[in-house]
Structure 1
């Protein structure tokens, strides 16, 4: 059974796989080692599954005979790059200067094979790998040229978006569909990837997270590799069940991971196919996975002692020695406190801007909004600030700050979703909690522990669960919540029930 391999000295997990005997001469070694970049077993299992999938595709490609690709197919493949650039920057294209500079560089590398190889070579190889294609050097060079054209087209559209023009790209339809490995569409015209594209189109049109399709596509590719075909109508419930068994018992993934990520993705995509009358039934619908109850050895939220330790350590963050940036010091100082009194997600606080601190009906509040960055629910909310935050000097900080984010300086660089500057801040605070505040128990998350603790403290002081849910951005599933408004005045009344943290 292939499992992550833990390095004895460093504790870091690795993928460690023997090279198939018939490919040793081509690969030049008998074993593959690749760091999974984590010491966490659960994360290692998931990353191992993805790297193993890529490795299997690599072996398949090496065994295949390189074939030239027609121009139509090359343009179709370049469309994948175009759609990715458009999706990643769907909601936030950034400043016009970014794309003006990008287009200038794109123009400079026109006709320069070496420069285009640097820019697009890795992406071209990844696209070929995703499609299970092996081609000759001439076709690959042509694909890189088409990728260059597709990226230029996407960059021009992003420049328009950054200037406020979100009209659809009139040339977006120039990319044909990617021909299937069997030379065309299935007889019934329905492939698994056809269904994925239908689902993806609706997902992005609804303004949902751009990274979710990338994650779902990986799961669908894994299913296709397991099945050995891409024919949606040939997939049975037993096929899906066998695949989940393979993931659990051959690949060593946890039942919860298989259920919540792999099976969930396939169920959603095939469900979209049923809803759009492309297929008659969803083969993933009857498949279920029994997820054993997780052993609970301690509270998910911080204990009183852990909370005091973090908050006390944060009081000295601004004066700490070292070359830590002022923005990071401010994050160490304030992010734990704001999370403690609001129960908000750390990422929602890390992306707060000066303009997100507002006064509503005489109450000092923060505005958590998708305009500032990622909000899990996609909905903005107003959260009153606890009086202790104000008396501790938070408003003085905000008043003296420049416009824009409080806890990082915008780099102006386009970043992939999930790799934002705010998420980087969250990661640094997590490390600070472990290394400086010395909250090292791996059973509690270094930032998310505040969300669990908020609910616990809210119950202790008699805060109405409805208000706690609204303040934290949790849905309670009750139809009654759709009626009327939860006012700032009411939320402020409930927030004030929280006792002060006295750690000075």
Structure 2
């Protein structure tokens, strides 16, 4: 039996050629019609034949989409599909963009649709569905929603550019390259059998923990590599090119709204660390992240990073009164807000190092009370313990009495912490509660300073003004020595106590 291939059909009245294709029997119920008919917009046989081939291929993709099992779309493909919408909008009005008022109205409607699910569906749903059908893609509801939002942002970007063009500005869109080149997912048979991102991460994790490093870093790095995996839509290391890593960093900056410092110091740094180890272990032949960088613009600093004297007193005064104020805050969180700011003020420690203190971390050596800040209690950034004497003012306001009366275990969080990870999580939650309290209750609303970390900056400033030598300040705060020589030996508790006593008392109401 010879199969007759479809071909252009000429309308006898108009002379215009059409494509007419029967809908497969198994899809008639889904598609709603038994035949597809569409004008090829030409009376020339040769041109009709060319256009027919394009349309016929598109129809076959449509059948594939209708038959396919819905699958999630990775982020890179979602943004790539949205990029097709952007490119078509830009190309269709390349020469004559129209009047500015038109684009101003479109911009207003775009903004309204962004916050309204019904409007989002009404405006962009047909475009999204047509796009998916064109590419023969069947996706799940969650991915379709993400694609809707991505297409809305593409429209928003195109609208802004067309508005510029309508005013005579035809300069290139500086963010047009945020859209990755669209390419359908490869078939499993085409994939490499080489290492995956998960393989490399597990190898790095094994070395990291064997070296006694923090579990918090493992959790952080896992999240960063998952973000890369979600963007790429796969984790086949052999398929990852440096350009894709670079495009990912652009996506994090321009789409996710992350700062260059965060992208470089957190996301890219994690990926570079894992790839660098894999390269050193000969697990991969080349490192796709090695040459990728994110430029960090000079930081504009308009004030000190530490609390002013007035701000410090405001926070500490509020800490003194935390139990007097009506609040639904849990008792252990109130204790954290009561004492942690005071301890940070006189030690320059990280808030997270203090929220993980245990009763047994307070000891007395030669009559001098001291805190031992140790990785055994939780996360310590440098990975090394240190002893920090308790300032006389902290002793006077009752800190030692509070610790003496406390139950054994953690001072500022409650509940069972059977693993170091659980304890670190609870300590982190307490630290975050303090930050919120400093903003909401103590009233430190200046976004240019960090509500917990500002104590470390202030401590350094006050210490310098009190003639405490840099090596002592570093030892108290847990900073690495400036030279290899400074890391030899230790600082006796009486020496650090002598220096810490130079800090003036903070008098608050």
Same fold (TM over 0.5): yes
> Contact 1:211–1:417 (CA<8 Å) still a contact in 2?
no
Q: 384-393 or 321-330, which moves further after superposition?
A: 321-330
Shift of 1:309: 0.7
Partner of 1:182: 188
> Contact 1:383–1:488 (CA<8 Å) still a contact in 2?
yes
Question: In structure 2, do the counterparts of structure 1 residues 495 and 15 end up closer, same or farther at CA, with 3 Å as the change threshold?
Answer: farther
Q: Which has the higher contact order (CA 8 A, sep 6+)?
A: 1
- Determine helix, strand or coil for the equivalent of 1:365: strand
> Contact 1:317–1:333 (CA<8 Å) still a contact in 2?
yes
The answer on 1:373 being equivalent to 2:378 is yes
Shift of 1:183: 6.3
> Contact 1:318–1:329 (CA<8 Å) still a contact in 2?
yes
TM-score normalised to structure 1 length: 0.62
Question: In structure 2, do the counterparts of structure 1 residues 312 and 228 end up closer, same or farther at CA, with 3 Å as the change threshold?
Answer: closer
Partner of 1:253: 258
| Partner Cα separation in structure 1 for residue 328 and residue 223 of structure 2 | 40
Shift of 1:455: 0.7
Shift of 1:373: 2.2
The answer on 1:350 being equivalent to 2:355 is yes
| Partner Cα separation in structure 2 for residue 263 and residue 397 of structure 1 | 44
| Partner Cα separation in structure 2 for residue 29 and residue 229 of structure 1 | 15
Q: 252-261 or 385-394, which moves further after superposition?
A: 252-261
Partner of 1:408: 413
Question: In structure 2, do the counterparts of structure 1 residues 215 and 394 end up closer, same or farther at CA, with 3 Å as the change threshold?
Answer: closer
| Partner Cα separation in structure 1 for residue 380 and residue 115 of structure 2 | 33
Question: In structure 2, do the counterparts of structure 1 residues 431 and 183 end up closer, same or farther at CA, with 3 Å as the change threshold?
Answer: same
| Partner Cα separation in structure 2 for residue 341 and residue 377 of structure 1 | 20
Alignment of 1:465-476 (within 5 A): 465-476=470-481
Partner of 1:197: 202
The answer on 1:308 being equivalent to 2:313 is yes
The answer on 1:279 being equivalent to 2:393 is no
> Contact 2:356–2:424 (CA<8 Å) still a contact in 1?
no
| Partner Cα separation in structure 2 for residue 359 and residue 283 of structure 1 | 53
Shift of 1:395: 1.4
- Determine helix, strand or coil for the equivalent of 1:359: strand
Among 445, 448, 466, which residue is 2:450 paired with?
A: 445
Partner of 2:393: 388
Question: In structure 2, do the counterparts of structure 1 residues 183 and 467 end up closer, same or farther at CA, with 3 Å as the change threshold?
Answer: farther
Shift of 1:450: 0.7
Alignment of 1:191-340 (within 5 A): 191-224=196-229, 226-227=231-232, 230-322=235-327, 324-340=329-345
Question: In structure 2, do the counterparts of structure 1 residues 185 and 340 end up closer, same or farther at CA, with 3 Å as the change threshold?
Answer: same
Partner of 1:77: none
> Contact 1:367–1:380 (CA<8 Å) still a contact in 2?
yes
Provide, for residues 91-145 of structure 1, a one-character-per-residue CA deviation record: whole Å limited to 9, x for no partner.
xxxxxxxxxxxxxxxxxxxxxxxxxxxxxxxxxxxxxxxxxxxxxxxxxxxxxxx
Shift of 1:410: 2.6
Partner of 1:436: 441
Question: In structure 2, do the counterparts of structure 1 residues 254 and 446 end up closer, same or farther at CA, with 3 Å as the change threshold?
Answer: closer
| Partner Cα separation in structure 1 for residue 146 and residue 472 of structure 2 | 53
| Structure index of larger Rg | 2
Question: In structure 2, do the counterparts of structure 1 residues 233 and 312 end up closer, same or farther at CA, with 3 Å as the change threshold?
Answer: same
| Partner Cα separation in structure 2 for residue 247 and residue 409 of structure 1 | 36
TM-score normalised to structure 2 length: 0.61
> Contact 1:343–1:451 (CA<8 Å) still a contact in 2?
yes
The answer on 1:490 being equivalent to 2:495 is yes
> Contact 1:357–1:364 (CA<8 Å) still a contact in 2?
yes
> Contact 1:15–1:33 (CA<8 Å) still a contact in 2?
no
> Contact 1:366–1:385 (CA<8 Å) still a contact in 2?
yes
| Partner Cα separation in structure 2 for residue 418 and residue 285 of structure 1 | 35
Question: In structure 2, do the counterparts of structure 1 residues 271 and 15 end up closer, same or farther at CA, with 3 Å as the change threshold?
Answer: farther
> Contact 2:356–2:427 (CA<8 Å) still a contact in 1?
yes
> Contact 2:480–2:487 (CA<8 Å) still a contact in 1?
no
- Determine helix, strand or coil for the equivalent of 1:366: strand
Question: In structure 2, do the counterparts of structure 1 residues 479 and 230 end up closer, same or farther at CA, with 3 Å as the change threshold?
Answer: same
Partner of 2:141: 27
| Partner Cα separation in structure 1 for residue 248 and residue 381 of structure 2 | 30
Unaligned stretches of 5+ in structure 1?
3-12, 35-59, 65-179
- Determine helix, strand or coil for the equivalent of 2:188: coil
Q: 13-22 or 447-456, which moves further after superposition?
A: 13-22
Provide, for residues 207-257 of structure 1, a one-character-per-residue CA deviation record: whole Å limited to 9, x for no partner.
323343343334334444555654434544344334333443455432222
| Partner Cα separation in structure 2 for residue 33 and residue 436 of structure 1 | 41
Provide, for residues 404-440 of structure 1, a one-character-per-residue CA deviation record: whole Å limited to 9, x for no partner.
2222333457796587222222222222222222112
- Determine helix, strand or coil for the equivalent of 2:323: helix
Question: In structure 2, do the counterparts of structure 1 residues 353 and 220 end up closer, same or farther at CA, with 3 Å as the change threshold?
Answer: closer
- Determine helix, strand or coil for the equivalent of 2:369: strand
| Partner Cα separation in structure 1 for residue 139 and residue 443 of structure 2 | 50
Unaligned stretches of 5+ in structure 2?
1-78, 83-113, 149-182
Partner of 2:56: none
Q: Give the root-mean-square deviation of aligned CA atoms.
A: 3.7
